[in-house]
Amino acid sequence: MRPYTIVFSTETVDGRIADPTGFSQLSCIEDFILQHTLRARVDAVMVGSRTAIMDNPRLTVRLSSGWSPLRVVIDSKLRVPPSARVFSVPGKGVLVTVEGHSSERLLEYRRRGVVVVESGRGRVDLRDAVERLAGMGVRRLMVEGGGGLNYALLSYRLVDEVWVTIAPYVFGAGRSMFEGDKGIRARLALYYNKILCGGWVHLRYRVVYH
């Protein structure tokens, strides 16, 4: 059993979530409110290690009513420090990493109250990781990027919905919302759309796996 999983991103018209310098501030206030409203309706929010490092997000609910969900970081190499905001702010942080790290290094996270999940060797086994999250009571999971994590989850068929807000920008280069090297042919079915802030377009799709 795995959680019902929704990928949420804000991208440019040319599909980029960050430019080559890492700049990624694409949301408008109504988009932020939607993001926080979804956070309040899921059991956990997940990000990849590069997003946790580059954006240093809190992943808490601030612009909506409701509780903050579990905050999950996928980080095979322990690159995200225990002092990262995602592990420091009140609430529960979960570090998903691979087997084989020393207990001393993992203790640095556990001392801060972070739950450590060891899954896979070399690289986190995402299929196992989401099942382990389900075992911790996570029924609904929101994934907030970045492109590498989004791509890996979609290619393993672990994504149920894609929520994307298209911001009125073009970057021409940078990370895309699903960034991988092999290509995927995923079919999406649109079920909701809304104009935000007079120029952003919010779209919700169900993923159709054949």
Ligand X SMILES: NC(=O)c1ccc[n+]([C@@H]2O[C@H](COP(=O)([O-])OP(=O)(O)OC[C@H]3O[C@@H](n4cnc5c(N)ncnc54)[C@H](OP(=O)(O)O)[C@@H]3O)[C@@H](O)[C@H]2O)c1
| Binding interface with ligand X (CB under 6 A) | 9-10, 17-18, 22, 24, 26, 47-51, 54-55, 74-77, 79, 123-124, 126, 144-149, 152, 175, 179
CB of 165 to ligand X, least distance (A): 8
Looking at the Cβ atoms of 35 and 68, the one nearer to ligand X is 35
Residue 176, classed as helix, strand or coil, is: strand
CB of 116 to ligand X, least distance (A): 14
Looking at the Cβ atoms of 40 and 149, the one nearer to ligand X is 149
Report the alpha-carbon distance of residue 176 to residue 14 in Å, rounded: 8
Report the alpha-carbon distance of residue 3 to residue 16 in Å, rounded: 27
CB of 150 to ligand X, least distance (A): 7
Looking at the Cβ atoms of 91 and 120, the one nearer to ligand X is 120
Looking at the Cβ atoms of 51 and 68, the one nearer to ligand X is 51
**Phi, psi for residue 154 in degrees, rounded to 5:** -65, -40
Residue nearest to ligand X (CB): 146
Looking at the Cβ atoms of 7 and 40, the one nearer to ligand X is 7
Show Cβ contacts of residue 146 under 8 Å, excluding neighbours closer than 6 positions. Answer: 17, 18, 47, 48, 50, 51, 54, 175, 179
CB of 65 to ligand X, least distance (A): 23
Q: Are strands 175-176 and 4-11 parallel, antiparallel or unpaired?
A: unpaired
Looking at the Cβ atoms of 26 and 138, the one nearer to ligand X is 26
C-alpha distance from residue 184 to each of 71, 74, 79, 124, 153 (Å): 27, 21, 28, 20, 11
**The tokens 């949301």 sit on which residue?**
27
CB of 159 to ligand X, least distance (A): 13
**The tokens 């990624």 sit on which residue?**
24
Report the alpha-carbon distance of residue 53 to residue 59 in Å, rounded: 13
CB of 32 to ligand X, least distance (A): 11
**Cβ contact 12:172 at 8 Å:** no
